[in-house]
Structure 1
């Protein structure tokens, strides 16, 4: 599938342009608050699992047995990777990725796209790591539901961090409500 010559722009990287949302006057503010809510929900979910793990007790009826599994540093690593990826993605200048403004350095667009790829790769690696931990550490050993919650919390943290980064990217990519285009 190719684009017709009238719509072709050799500077484009993606076949489809960035989406344009019309959420009204406060679309940027709504997106930033939604991304912040997703970020808070992601970290609250994982911290809840970590605190539950730290205060886990032996199963009822068998007080001498310790809990079979705890949240360790390996469970924190996927969330840290996703958090770093989110920071990298949202620190990139959106105009450089699009290549719309004329920059003095011709490699600036290429470097911005490379850093964007690295950020999304970190988030995808965090998500893949949390799914791998869920399967290998919690599901294959057939722990009770109260212990598998630790793995599910890690996966949900990484999914919510990735959604938060995407929502924040899109909300900051839309035009500012205080932006005026004057032409003579």
Structure 2
């Protein structure tokens, strides 16, 4: 099966084009609210695990045995890295990354791209760290499900923070309904 020549575009990457989703004039606002919701969900999930860990009880019927594992500072580090990466990525001026607006200094574009890389590297490092903690601290020790939830909450926090950063980046790159392009 081949694509008819009338529909062929040599710049196209995928055989089947992505659906054209139009959200109307409020697409930027919807994206920003969606990113905020993902951010809140990410942090709520991990804080829920931390609170459950702080109030964990010994197994029923055995009051002298303490809970086998708690959320420690090592569990917080991946989320902090992802949060810093999200801040770095979304504080960068998008026009500098693209090299538009005639900034004059070629090094400004290079520095903006370097900071963008550092931000995404922080988020990727946070995700990798949370997966490593899940495997090394919770999965390999064969804890019951109530304790492995702490590791799953850590991974889900970092995934949601990355998705939030991507949605916010895309929604801020879209022009709003109040912007006008006055080019001559």
TM-score range, shorter chain: 0.7 to 0.9
Aligned to 2:85: 85
1:150 maps to 150
Find the aligned partners of 1:182 and 1:129 in 2 and give their Cα distance. 47
Partners of 2:88 and 2:119 within 8 A in 1: yes
Task: Provide the rounded CA distance (Å) in 1 between the counterparts of 2:32 and 2:21.
Answer: 14
Shift of 1:180: 1.3
* 1:21 to partner: Cα distance: 6.5
Tell me what 1:30 maps to. 30
Does residue 117 (structure 1) correspond to residue 103 (structure 2)? The answer is no
Matched, 1:42 2:72: no
Q: CA RMSD in A?
A: 1.7
| Residues 21, 174 of structure 1: 8 Å contact kept | no
1:1-184 correspondence to structure 2 within 5 Å: 22-184=22-184
SS at match of 2:106: coil
What are the Cα deviations for residues 73-126 of structure 1, in whole angstroms up to 9, with x where unaligned?
000000000000000000000000111210021111111000000000000000
Residues matched between the structures, number: 168
Give, in whole Å, the separation in 2 of the partners of 1:72 and 1:50.
8
- The DSSP-based 3-state class of the residue aligned with 2:23 is coil
Label 1:21 to 1:90 Cα distance change in 2 as closer, same or farther (>3 A). Answer: farther
Secondary structure, in 3 states, of the residue corresponding to 1:26? helix
TM-score of the two chains, using structure 1 as the length reference? 0.88
